[in-house]
């Protein structure tokens, strides 16, 4: 079952990556990057457990925290109202 979960995660990551490439708006890209980060955390947790990686939980924890910081930073970039950045 764990293999099925890993496969599902990998397929999902590919789908999310496609969305990040085609856009079309910047918000889609931000959403895709965030979703990709979450899927990476899940892949590290599930895959790390399956393959017996060392201290995978620590890395997954840090990924979750840093992903949160990164996504919020991207959103702050769009909240500072600058006329030059108004296009989508």
Partner 1 sequence: MRDLFAVIMLFGIFSFIAALLFLDMDAVDVAFTEAAVGAGVTTVLMLSALRLTQRYENVSHRHAGMALVVVTLTGAALIYGTLDFPSLGDPNAPVHEHVAPEYLQQTPEKIGVPNVVTAVLASFRGYDTLGETVVIFSAGIVVMLLLGLGRAEDFEQQEDILILWVVVKPMVALILVFALYVQFHGDFGAGGGFQAGVIFASGFILYSLVYGENHTRKVLPARWLPRLAALGVLLYAGTGMFSFFKGQVFLDYNALADSPVSGQHLGILLVEAGVGLTVFSTVLLIFYAFSGRRAVVHE
Partner 2 sequence: MLIGLLSDLCLLFGGLLCLTGGVGLLRLPSFFVRLHAASVTETLATVFLIAGVMLDTGWALDTAKLLLLIVIMFVANPSITHALCRTAAHGKYRPESNHEPQASHQQENQSSNNSTS
Q: Residues in the site for partner 1, rule: CB under 8 A?
A: 17, 20-21, 23, 26, 29-30, 32-33, 36-37, 40, 43-44, 48, 53-56, 58-59, 61-63, 65-70, 72-74, 76-77, 80, 82, 84-85
Which parts of 32-71 interact with partner 2 (CB under 8 A)? 32, 34-35, 38-39, 41-42, 45-46, 49, 57-58, 60-61, 64-65, 67-68, 71
3-state secondary structure of 2: helix
Tokens 């930073």, located at residue? 73
CA 47 to chain centre: 16
Neighbours of 35 (CB within 10 A): 19
């Amino acid at each position: 079952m764990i293999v099925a979960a890993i496969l599902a995660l990998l397929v999902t990551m590919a789908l999310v990556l496609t969305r990040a490439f085609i856009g079309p708006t910047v918000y889609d890209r931000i959403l895709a990057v965030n979703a990709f980060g979450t899927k990476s955390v899940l892949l590290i947790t599930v895959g790390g457990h399956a393959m017996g990686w060392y201290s995978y939980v620590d890395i997954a924890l840090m990924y979750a925290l840093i992903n949160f910081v990164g996504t919020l930073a991207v959103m702050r970039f769009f909240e500072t109202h600058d006329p030059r950045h108004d296009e989508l």
